[in-house]
Amino acid sequence: MLPFARITIIGIGLIGSSIARAVRVEMPTVRLTGYDADPEVRGIADRLQLFDDVTDTAGAAVIDADLVILCVPVGAMGAVAAEIAADLPADAVVSDVGSCKEEVLRALTEALPGATIIPAHPVAGTERSGPEAGFATLFHKRWCIITPPEGADALAVERVSEFWRRLGAEVELMEPGHHDRVLAITSHLPHLIAYTIVGTASDMEEVTRSEVIKYSAGGFRDFTRIAASDPTMWRDVFLSNREAVLDMLQRFSEDLSALQRAIRWGKGDELFELFTKTRAIRRGIIEQGQDDPAPDFGRTHD
């Protein structure tokens, strides 16, 4: 039995359009409705036939849904929730895919008093944005973290969990605050650092941008992928998960200072020790199927 029969996706970007595609493949009898604030995106969604219906307002999209998934930047969640409040069926479950859960839960609870809100975060994505960037297998073997509020309806939690399992994801339940700290180190800080170093490199005077690009295969190019991610989404993530991100950034800066000192004073043993330790984490990631086992991320070498 399907966990939901009439699913509405609001926000048709990489994640929203991937969910639509995956639902079509895995649960083809589900009735799918989509909405995006951008008329151009709605037109593309129509053309790609991602949904049974694409509506002109958010309210019209949710009118007979039993699951509504908000796939908009986390800073827009509250406003979008307010837009659907009047039309949301009383028995619908509202979920989302945002990278910060405390702030999103707060915003949704405030905008939708009495609604069944089960936030979720599929830890998957690429550097591409928009409805054409999505694909049906994006969530395969990736984790989806579900962060129910205290006292959440157990059946609703299980239905949302089953929904994600059907899309190929593995599901884990987590307390929203802990989610935000885990993601601050595994996702938010990496993006912040990647954006920073790409900015630093592009601001150099004596090393030209053309040199940075030409010799990027020495390591720099690995950072440019996530620094090409959607700017609005990431601005909102940093503003919404501010405390946890600032704390992780502080730890990182301390560790970087220690390394800087080791280089300045020629402490090769300290460098060697750190560089040996970090290999184990990559092994773990590959063993647990969270990255490509081929060298160089499986990039083609002719």
114 vs 219 by CB, closer to a copy of itself: 219
Choose one: 31-39, 50-58, 102-110, 294-302; the region binding a copy of itself (CB under 8 A): 294-302
CA separation (Å) from 92 to 27, 114, 157, 296? 18, 11, 13, 44
Helix axes 189-202, 242-264, angle to 10 degrees: 60
53 vs 243 by CB, closer to a copy of itself: 243
Residues 6+ apart with CB under 8 A from 165: 171
Q: How far apart are CA 65 and CA 89, in angstroms?
A: 7
**Which of 46, 133, 158, 162 is close enough to bind a copy of itself by CB under 8 A?**
133
DSSP string, 160-194: HHHHHHHTT-EEEE--HHHHHHHHIIIIIHHHHHH
Q: Does residue 274 interact with a copy of itself by CB under 8 A?
A: yes
Closest CA to 73 of 110, 36, 47: 36
Q: CB of residue 240 vs a copy of itself: minimum separation in angstroms?
A: 10
Beta strands in the chain (DSSP E): 6-10, 31-35, 53-54, 67-70, 93-96, 116-117, 120-122, 143-146, 170-173
- The pattern of x and - marking residues 41 through 80 that bind a copy of itself according to CB under 8 A reads ----------------------------------x-----
Choose one: 24-32, 36-44, 108-116, 216-224; the region binding a copy of itself (CB under 8 A): 216-224
Site for a copy of itself in 224-243 (CB under 8 A): 224-229, 231-232, 234-236, 238-239, 242
61 vs 168 by CB, closer to a copy of itself: 168
Across the beta sheet with 6-10, the strand order is: 53-54, 31-35, 6-10, 67-70, 93-96, 116-117
Site for a copy of itself in 88-127 (CB under 8 A): 99, 123-127
**Which of 142, 148, 171, 176 is close enough to bind a copy of itself by CB under 8 A?**
142
78 vs 125 by CB, closer to a copy of itself: 125
Site for a copy of itself in 196-215 (CB under 8 A): 196-204, 206-207, 209, 211-215
